[in-house]
Amino acid sequence: MRHLVDVSPEGGSPYPVYVGGAPDGMLAALWRDRWRQAVLIGDETTASLFAAPLVRALEARDVEVHVLRFPAGERSKTRETKARLEDAMLEAHVERDACIVGVGGGVALDLAGFVAATYQRGIDHVFVATTLLAQVDAAIGGKTGVDTPRGKNLIGAFHQPKAVLCDYGALASLDVSERRNGLAEMVKHAAVWDAALFRELEGWSGEEALPSEALVGRSIAAKAEVVSRDTRDRGIRQVLNFGHTVGHALEAATDHSLPHGQAVAVGMTIEARVAARAGWLADDDARRLAALLARLGLPTAPPVAFSDASSFLASDKKTARGAVRCALPSTLGGVTPSGGSYTREVSYQALAAAWSEP
């Protein structure tokens, strides 16, 4: 694995992000002597595919290793699953000098990080990200949490990992749909932060449905730069929520049958239309965005009516004083703050109009 970038959270220690193959060797190399216990947390799929070499690498260092699994899928990202994981750790007498190793995609990493944030009032954790979505998004920045019937990620904590290992080789195990979920987040990073990356994605054929390690690294670096500037999501980090106000509402309205990346792709399309209608974004930029998403095999039309999703908009974390707010690009590659905020108030009428636009 190669060292790609360091994330430098405000008030915390920088941590490295690595990209490449053989995460077991890198995990063993960075393991700290004081971590005498390890708890590998993954869903049933990712634990079965990726846990064994990690366990062997740690046991070779005389580390006591526990592997905890939960059913795969967004429906497992709940307070109940978190409690079961914590109870299993308590039963195994996991102590405060242990380190949690989250293995898998966004659900596994969000859960593992949240457990680490609260177990014994907070213990260390490391991420081994095995999906494209996790590598370019969930693993970077210290956001952890669970979903509730009211909305996504409404219960959680900021808790930074000690290192992130992005297993590029694991991406070959993903089906095309799962790869595309990650591509949606890469497009988002490009749309709000990296105009050159957006142009590269437009020029990429996408035929193999798996971007190069260099493209993945560019997207990770963009996320790392943003979160290093604003760890607590109070300012410029909010640009990373582009597409997520609508996207999270779509996930809730479809009971998570619409995967996160696809929901964000639709959300970006609709929110870009809102921005274009309001004169905050050029019409041509909104069309370019939709065209790129469609060419990458991502949906751009909502699968449910606005009336089915509108009730979930009020539960979005960016909602302030009852008003829905969206993070909207002002050009492809940047967001201009308005009134000191990187989100803009958007009316239900504007969202409804953009929702039904062909």
- CB contact set of 151 (below 8 Å; sequence gap of 6+): 248, 252, 312, 315, 316, 317
Determine the pLDDT at residue 91: 98
176-355 matches 2-173 in CATH topology: no
What is the reported pLDDT for 357? Answer: 84
Q: Which residues of the chain have pLDDT under 70?
A: 207-208, 315-322
Predicted pLDDT at 142: 96
Alpha carbon distance 1, 28 (integer Å): 12
CB atoms closer than 10 angstroms to residue 352: 15
Structurally, what CATH architecture does the domain formed by 2-173 represent? 3-Layer(aba) Sandwich (3.40)
User: 157 in the Ramachandran plot: left (φ > 0), alpha (ψ -120 to 50) or beta?
Assistant: beta
pLDDT of residue 208: 65
- pTM (two decimals): 0.93
Q: Where are the domains of the chain?
A: 2-173, 176-355
Identify the pLDDT of residue 152. 85
Residue 67: what pLDDT? Answer: 98
- CA proximity to 74, closest of 256, 229, 253: 256
* Encoded tokens for 311: 């009730």
Domain 176-355: give its CATH architecture: Up-down Bundle (1.20)
Closest CA to 45 of 18, 76, 72, 5: 72
Ramachandran angles phi, psi of 270, nearest 5°? -70, -45
Exposed e or buried b for every residue in 24-50, given b needs 16+ CB within 10 A? bebbbeebeeebebbbbbbbebbbeeb
134-167: per-residue pLDDT in tens? 999 999 999 999 999 888 889 999 999 999 999 9
